[in-house]
Chains A and B, each alone.
Chain A
């Protein structure tokens, strides 16, 4: 799947990075908790989120993410979009809720990040 396919599936609006929408995407994660997102180290992951603050961009930068999807029609401020463009991100916004956006993308073949979590001693 490419970002362009995601735009079609989600009836999304491209907010920045139009020239990069043919970038392939392999996995997705959906979270408003950047702490959780930081635990998914995979640069080919798309992040679906309802948060539009600068920390979403910082998190994306640290992980080398290529695409952000803002759910529920959220659109961040101009400054954030300019920063996103500088980082080489594609940012899209969909009217779907995060849950529906995930469902549509999953149905279209996109899957979650595989997690290899080490066994913790106190997991029983």
Chain B
């Protein structure tokens, strides 16, 4: 295991549309200060905003964790439910169960999970109905 340069945790509340994106803005600021290259920074920012919005739109609340080592940036989203019944369907572009509120704000196009996967170098998702969903994303720095 390599030394952790940065560890931060951001609680994200369900349906808190006003603050949605604040964690991602802070993550971007912190990574920029650490000198993460712009190309990686943009991918992390997009994935982090998508995952933060997913917590707000779909989850019962959760925590977004940022971990930085000299080798990689890691983003972990862990929520308290409700869990995704069909992960294959959820990963499909265009599929969305977002509420009207989310859609009226410009979200819910069904691009979130595929877009996270596309931007991350490593992507894994596990989910259990009634328990919650965990998304783990890695972005290589070296």
Contact = CB atoms under 8 A, between A and B. Distances in A.
A36 interface: yes
B103 to A, nearest CB: 9
B77 interface: no
Interface string B42-67: 11011011100000000000000000
Interface of A: 32-39, 41, 43, 51, 53-56, 58-59, 61-64, 118, 120, 122
B133 interface: no
Interface of B: 17-18, 20-21, 24-25, 28, 38, 42-43, 45-46, 48-50, 92-93, 105-112, 115, 118-119
24 contacts: A33-B106, A34-B106, A34-B107, A35-B110, A35-B112, A36-B109, A36-B111, A38-B115, A41-B43, A51-B105, A53-B105, A54-B21, A55-B17, A55-B106, A58-B21, A59-B106, A61-B25, A61-B45, A62-B24, A62-B28, A62-B48, A63-B46, A64-B38, A120-B93
Contacts, number: 74
Given A38-B46, A43-B42, A63-B46, A58 B115 contact: no
Nearest to A61: B25
Given A41-B42, A55-B20, A120-B93, A62 B107 contact: no
Contacts of B45: 61-63
Nearest to A122: B92
Contacts of B108: 35
**6 nearest A-B residue pairs (beta carbon):** A35-B109, A58-B21, A34-B106, A62-B45, A35-B111, A33-B109
